[in-house]
Amino acid sequence: MVDKLDINTKAQSLRRELGEDLESSIDIFSLAHTVPKLTLVYYPMGERISGMCIKNDGYPVIAINSAMSIGRQRFSLAHELYHLYFDDSEHSVVCAKKIGGGNDIEKSADQFASYFLIPSVALESFIKKFKSDSVGRLGIKEIVKLEQYFGVSRQALLYRLVGDHKLSLEEADKFRDGVINSAVNLGYDDVLYKPLPENKQYKTYGHYIEKAEELYEKDLVSTGKYEQLLLTAFRPDLVYGEEFEGGELND
């Protein structure tokens, strides 16, 4: 069984541990860099997998399916943090795309991701402030505002609102289609609802890169080997410079 109260406590404690308060929207991609010894890999993994967590004897690797929308990737990363911090299994785990499915560990990881990205206190006060009518029903305006504020995909938001009895399943179903249009028509950017362009879906950050640099600085690997290590980790930008990425302007 999934113990929501316990999972909520875990989500709050990890937010605190990583230096976040219990109310704000968080930049989870940046936050993941503060997880000790973590290597983060973005890699397009097709239709069915959202991500994976490899414990690797204290040198963990989290891989995120970068072919999914940014909002969904944020949820996947929070989901994998559950495996890293709270799932006792020593094994690697590969996670399916469907939110709220799978065994109890998978369900717990989804519930955790939801509480981690959308703290209950913040959700409550947001709804109180913006509900659309006197009975407090949530309309498309509030739905888009919520997913934009917390940076989650529509499916992730509806999963939470149904789970918290803020919407019935039937009501939620009305909001599942035409997601991008609904946001754009209300004046929002569509960044949250799309993956990055294909040439930017491969990337490695964190411990692995740090270690490669260290080996090179200490003269423990040749320049060729160092470059090979970076190229294997999809970091041509570190080998050839930013121009490789298409010469964008840096701000």
Could you tell me the strand order of the sheet in which 61-65 lies? 93-96, 49-54, 61-65, 39-43, 203-206
Q: Which is nearer to Zn ion, 67 or 95 (CB)?
A: 95
Binding mask 94-133 for Zn ion (x = CB under 5 A): -x----------x--x------------------------
List all residues 6 or more positions away from 112 whose beta carbon is below 8 Å from its beta carbon: 7, 10, 11, 78, 79, 81, 82, 86
Q: Which is nearer to Zn ion, 53 or 122 (CB)?
A: 53
Residue 157: CB minimum distance to Zn ion, A: 19
23-52 positions binding Zn ion, by CB under 5 A: none
Residue 186, φ and ψ in degrees, nearest 5: -95, 10
Kindly determine how many residues on this chain lie close enough to bind Zn ion according to the rule CB under 5 A: 3
Residue 108: CB minimum distance to Zn ion, A: 9
Q: Is 134 left (phi over 0), alpha (psi -120 to 50) or beta?
A: alpha
Residue 228, φ and ψ in degrees, nearest 5: -65, -40
In the numeric block, the tokens 């090179």 are attached to 216
Q: Which is nearer to Zn ion, 90 or 248 (CB)?
A: 90
Rg of the chain on CA atoms, in Å: 19
Of the ranges 19-27, 92-100, 193-201, 240-248, which one interacts with Zn ion (CB under 5 A)? 92-100
Residue 206: CB minimum distance to Zn ion, A: 19
Indicate the residue type of 244. F
* Sequence-ordered alpha helix ranges (H) in 87-165: 104-117, 120-130, 140-150, 154-163
Between CA 234 and CA 165 the distance in angstroms is: 43
Residue 95: CB minimum distance to Zn ion, A: 3
Q: Which is nearer to Zn ion, 109 or 238 (CB)?
A: 109
Tally: H helices and E strands in the chain: 12, 5
Indicate the residue type of 239. V
Q: Which is nearer to Zn ion, 33 or 98 (CB)?
A: 98
Q: Which is nearer to Zn ion, 110 or 147 (CB)?
A: 110
Q: Which is nearer to Zn ion, 20 or 106 (CB)?
A: 106
Residue 6: CB minimum distance to Zn ion, A: 17
Q: Are 82 and 108 in contact (CB under 8 A)?
A: yes
3-state SS assignment for residue 235 = coil
Residue 187: CB minimum distance to Zn ion, A: 35
Could you say whether residue 54 binds Zn ion (CB under 5 A)? no
Of the ranges 90-98, 129-137, 192-200, 239-247, which one interacts with Zn ion (CB under 5 A)? 90-98
Residue 83: CB minimum distance to Zn ion, A: 6
Of the ranges 13-21, 66-74, 87-95, 164-172, which one interacts with Zn ion (CB under 5 A)? 87-95
Interface residues with Zn ion (CB under 5 A) are 95, 106, 109
